[in-house]
Amino acid sequence: MKKEVVEVPGFNMPVLPNGKPAVPISLATKAGGFVYVSGIPPLIPETGEFVLSDIKVQTRQSIENIKRILEAAGSSLENILNVHIYCSNSGYFAQINEVYAEYFDVEAPSRTFVTVGSWMMPFDIEMDCVAIENYE
């Protein structure tokens, strides 16, 4: 079995002034029927710029980004097995859950919520996940 890097058309990650990626990661990789999505912040895929707004808007953007990446990988939000949420402030927990429940309800994936001690970039949330590929 070989790892495959998932290409997501039109999804631009932030770059440094020299044009190199700000962070050396793949948006997602897959192998063995599983899709692994990297920590995805609330950024605008077309520009690579961060959404600097309230936590609900940031949460929605992060989930929409994950949805787009999973679809490019041949999966979907419904196929997510596990989610990790990293947040700058535990006080946002209820607001994040409010938006999260719009996407995941009765059969929600397993999940971990982690408050981070410091953040290296100007956003308040990042999510990663593991999903299975769609099977017909």
11-67 residue pLDDT tens: 988 888 898 888 889 999 999 999 999 999 999 999 989 999 999 999 999 999 999
81-134 residue pLDDT tens: 999 999 999 999 999 999 999 999 889 999 999 999 888 888 999 999 999 998
The pTM assigned to this predicted structure is: 0.93
Residue written as token pair 């950024």: 43
d(CA 73, CA 109) in angstroms, rounded, equals: 18
In the sheet where 80-87 sits, what is the strand order?
4-5, 28-31, 34-40, 125-132, 80-87, 110-115
What single DSSP character describes residue 1? -
CATH code, 92: 3.30.1330.40
Q: How many domains does the chain divide into?
A: 1
pLDDT confidence of residue 15: 81
- Which domain, by its residues, includes 65? 4-132
